[in-house]
């Protein structure tokens, strides 16, 4: 067993960049929204560095890039609606689970560890994507960026999960790809484990000093 799992009773997984490579579909929806406004598409590489603070921030960053200035609130709101429509139409066309994910989730579940999910992505997208990839059944509870008043890096969603299952935060592990996951985990009193292959605004996630790093979730078990 990976040393990070000792005494762990609950694991909270991040979604985008940790369990799934979702940027192809996110970028397609961002570009559809931009092209719908006769703006230039931005492509996957840019979107990869903008994921992590939820879909509203993603849209705001895309507009700021193509407009060359901060967009006003009304424009962000209308564009966000456009993004949501496009992403709803195709949330899992080219999105794939990373290697070892299904095995790791199954093995944790088999050990009796409570498997949960906490993403900053809007909650409405969680089930369609997990179901399309055959991963939904592993999760006892999932939270999206709009499920509670606060999202990561705020510790509230993590503490909510721990409380729901009556597990002390010290016996919980946050597994994620970004500084928001590590910060939320630390603030919640969870142990933290990072994967280096995901999305972290172009910076190495080790800079956030997680308790551990695994190259692949297959190493977890």
Ligand X SMILES: O=C(O)COP(=O)(O)O
From 2-10, 59-67, 70-78, 115-123, span contacting ligand X (CB under 6 A): 115-123
At closest approach, how far in Å is the CB of 50 from Mg ion? 12
From 23-31, 67-75, 79-87, 173-181, span contacting Mg ion (CB under 5 A): 173-181
* Interaction of residue 174 with ligand X, rule CB under 6 A: no
Q: Is 177 known as a binding-site position?
A: yes
Please calculate the CA angle 198-32-41 and round it to the nearest 5 degrees.
Answer: 70
Query: CA 62 → CA 10, 47, 107, 201, distances in Å?
Result: 35, 8, 38, 13
Task: Name which of 96 and 111 has its Cβ closer to ligand X.
Answer: 96
Using CB atoms, what's the residue nearest to ligand X?
Answer: 119
Crossing angle (nearest 10°) for helices 23-36 and 55-67: 50
* Interaction of residue 14 with Mg ion, rule CB under 5 A: yes
d(CA 7, CA 171): 6
d(CA 65, CA 96): 27
Contact with ligand X (CB under 6 A) among 5, 8, 9, 16: 16
Q: Counting beta carbons within 10 angstroms of the beta carbon of residue 29, is it exposed (0 to 12), middle (13 to 18) or buried (19 or more)?
A: buried
Asked whether 201 and 210 are in contact (CB, 8 A), the reply is no
* Total binding residues toward Mg ion, as defined by CB under 5 A: 5
Task: Name which of 1 and 124 has its Cβ closer to ligand X.
Answer: 124
From 14-22, 90-98, 126-134, 164-172, span contacting ligand X (CB under 6 A): 14-22
Catalytic status, residue 14? yes
At closest approach, how far in Å is the CB of 35 from ligand X? 21
* Interaction of residue 120 with ligand X, rule CB under 6 A: yes
Residue 217: CB atoms within 10 A of its CB come to 26
d(CA 208, CA 213): 11
d(CA 10, CA 170): 10
Write out the catalytic residue numbers.
14
Binding residues for ligand X, per CB under 6 A? Answer: 14-17, 51-55, 58, 119-121, 178
Residue list for the binding site for Mg(2+): 14, 16, 177
Binding residues for Mg ion, per CB under 5 A? Answer: 14, 16-17, 177-178
């Amino acid at each position: 067993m990976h040393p990070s799992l000792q005494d762990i009773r609950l694991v909270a997984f991040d979604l985008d960049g940790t369990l799934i490579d979702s940027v192809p579909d996110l970028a397609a929806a961002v570009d559809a929204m931009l092209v719908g406004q006769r703006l230039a598409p931005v492509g996957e590489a840019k979107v990869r560095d903008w994921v992590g603070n939820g879909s509203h921030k993603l849209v705001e960053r895309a507009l700021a890039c193509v407009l060359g200035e901060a967009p006003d609130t009304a424009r962000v709101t209308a564009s966000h609606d456009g993004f949501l429509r496009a992403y709803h139409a195709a949330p899992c066309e080219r999105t794939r689970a990373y290697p070892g994910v299904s095995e790791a989730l199954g093995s944790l579940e088999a050990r009796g560890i409570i498997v949960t999910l906490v993403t900053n992505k809007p909650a409405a997208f969680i089930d369609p994507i997990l179901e399309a990839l055959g991963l939904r059944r592993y999760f006892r509870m999932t939270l999206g960026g709009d499920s509670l008043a606060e999202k990561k890096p705020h510790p509230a969603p993590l503490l909510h999960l721990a409380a729901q299952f009556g597990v002390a935060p010290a016996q919980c592990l946050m597994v994620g790809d970004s500084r928001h996951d590590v910060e939320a985990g630390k603030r919640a009193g969870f142990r933290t484990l990072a994967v280096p292959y995901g999305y972290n605004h172009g910076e190495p996630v080790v800079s956030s000093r997680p308790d551990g790093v695994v190259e692949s979730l297959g190493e977890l078990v």
